[in-house]
Structure 1
């Protein structure tokens, strides 16, 4: 049975936006992995509150936070399909409880005794959470939070303790309020959805025609998300690639998400959205840097919650990220102009989003536009991009091989990819 695809709609998409949506689709966590993440954190929450646990009867609530809670989860390692899950454990302890004691108790509650469920897993006690690493490399960070009596709804304190050096304190937070605020202020776009639904069907259809692996369905199909949310995912992917060989902290995902809310009116162009977020962030950093101050970003739903309390550590750290963002904007501007050859296209995409995604997206883009060419549908949009992509397989020596039988295909080579 043939696949019904609106070729007119697929051809009319800005080619660069098409490339970016393909990158975002491949980088985001699909429905099956999302469901596994739910099983992981539910299982862990039940485990720490099990009969005989040091935290038995002390878990008030357990909920996902971070990227999973706002629909912006991406693979940390694309080739190995690994991702991170952040979980908040609201514990029934006074906010004055010793942070070291709380974190130690949580560690013992998860690790358990020999023979218990997670005893043989890799369980690490960190300065603000306990991390469980599953056999497939997926990690779950459980952060204990105590509610503030009489405080704003869902406000609490996290417990911080560094074993080396003995640094110890509590910090006021409200991750639930941030999630609710973010989700209430990010809207989907019918125009964005209609543009890219045809592209997704075409890409999936071409894969099926070649008997290659079908993509797992997204928890929320990416073209049905807000363009700004997809742009946040792309910015996170860009950040992960830039920081894969660097020491020090990365700009936190929650900081990127919070700042994206203030990046001006939303556009239906994915490229414009990424550029808007990058420009806004680097502008804010430049303003603070000129005053010899560090960037400060607060939870828009709970002012006392400072999201930048550990990054940037110093002016150098924020300048590094500012320069990264400047390079991202320059590179996207170059691609949008269409003044490049196939080798430049591949090189820029590799530098921005990693080798694996770049190669796969160029291959898929070539297939899509090859189909459009066979139907005499080319000539719509920015032709420079289309011509470059059409030339890519031969110019770059890509043989368009069948992929391995996994969600994303490929073998394990570069961890970030």
Structure 2
């Protein structure tokens, strides 16, 4: 996690937390309006349940910069955006095109239709974004219309086409992950999309989930008095299929 710090002054008579920032941009004055806090609140409202938002408002004025939360405590859409940023970083470097700013990526991704489960949601975001980023962009901060999120991207027109191609590639590969297949093949797909560390972590977590389900099944049998006679326990049963990486999160 990183924290950007920029000199700014509050602007009176505007929406709460609208600020003037001292910025250098070739096509605008050095003094520009922005509202990053307003954008963060808008994004939270798009991706978090309402009850969570109400609790956050109570403590917002007194709580310092929060620590990073483990993945299991984050919403599906937030995890999708984080994975999408990782995918962007790897593939922008791999193909050498302009990196879409995180705030612009987050704004477009937040408006995508929701998918059921992490992989389905990430696929929904990728498929939604692919045609949008291929076209000329004019994306405003919902909390401050003068704050144009798309003013710095792209520097080269081909970057839009290349990002769109990569997002379509991501959607196709996620379709493969959602299908039945070997864990070796799935791990290779994850490595290609998100890097070696993500592949290792994903494979490890999938194995842990499968082991936990197996243990839960054994405990359930024991709790139900499943230690029957040899005749009753000898009845054959089919091992349930699993889709490690396809399970809803």
* Shorter-chain TM-score above 0.5: yes
Contact 1:335 1:345 in 2 (8 A): yes
Task: State whether structure 2 residue 144 is matched by structure 1 residue 302.
Answer: yes
CA apart distance, 1:302: 1.5
Q: Contact 2:97–2:162 (CA<8 Å) still a contact in 1?
A: no
Does the Cα contact within 8 Å between 1:188 and 1:225 map onto a contact in 2?
no
Q: 1:144 to 1:384 in 2, by over 3 A?
A: closer
Deviation at 1:251, TM superposition (A): 1.1
Given the alignment of the two structures, is residue 144 of structure 1 paired with residue 7 of structure 2, yes or no?
Answer: yes
Q: Which runs of 5+ in 2 are unaligned?
A: 52-66, 219-238
Conservation of the 8 A alpha-carbon contact between 2:206 and 2:244 = no
**Is the aligned partner of 1:261 residue 2:110?**
yes
Match of 2:172 in 1: 330
Q: TM-score of the superposition, structure 2-length normalised?
A: 0.71
Q: Which has the higher contact order (CA 8 A, sep 6+)?
A: 1
List aligned pairs for 1:218-257, cutoff 5 A.
Answer: 219-245=68-94, 247=96, 249-257=98-106
Structure 1 Cα separation of the partners of residues 244 and 23 of structure 2 = 54
Q: Distance in 2 between matches of 1:189 and 1:350?
A: 35
Partner of 2:19: 156
Find the aligned partners of 2:36 and 2:208 in 1 and give their Cα distance.
42
Write out aligned runs for 1:7-406 (5 A): 83-86=1-4, 142-161=5-24, 169-188=30-49, 219-245=68-94, 247=96, 249-264=98-113, 266-286=114-134, 288=135, 294-338=136-180, 340-370=181-211, 372=213, 379-382=240-243
Alpha carbons of structure 1 residues 322 and 369: separation in structure 2 relative to 1, 3 Å: same
Name whichever structure is richer in helix by fraction: 2
CA RMSD of aligned residues (A): 3.1
Instruction: Indicate the structure with greater strand content.
Output: 1
The 3-state SS of whatever aligns with 2:240 is coil
| Separation in 2, partners of 1:248, 1:348 | 22
TM-score by length of 1: 0.45
- Structure 1, gaps ≥5 residues long: 1-82, 87-141, 191-217, 289-293, 387-417
**Number of matched residues?**
211
Aligned mates of 2:140, 2:156 — CA distance in 1 = 17
In structure 2, the residue corresponding to 1:158 is in which secondary structure?
Answer: strand
TM superposition shift of 1:236: 1.3
CA deviation profile, 1:367-417 (whole Å, cap 9, x unmatched): 54356457778525448979xxxxxxxxxxxxxxxxxxxxxxxxxxxxxxx
* Separation in 2, partners of 1:183, 1:238: 22
Distance in 1 between residues matched to 2:127 and 2:86, nearest whole Å: 17
CA distance in 1, matches of 2:133, 2:203: 33
Q: Deviations over 1:12-64 (max 9, x none)?
A: xxxxxxxxxxxxxxxxxxxxxxxxxxxxxxxxxxxxxxxxxxxxxxxxxxxxx
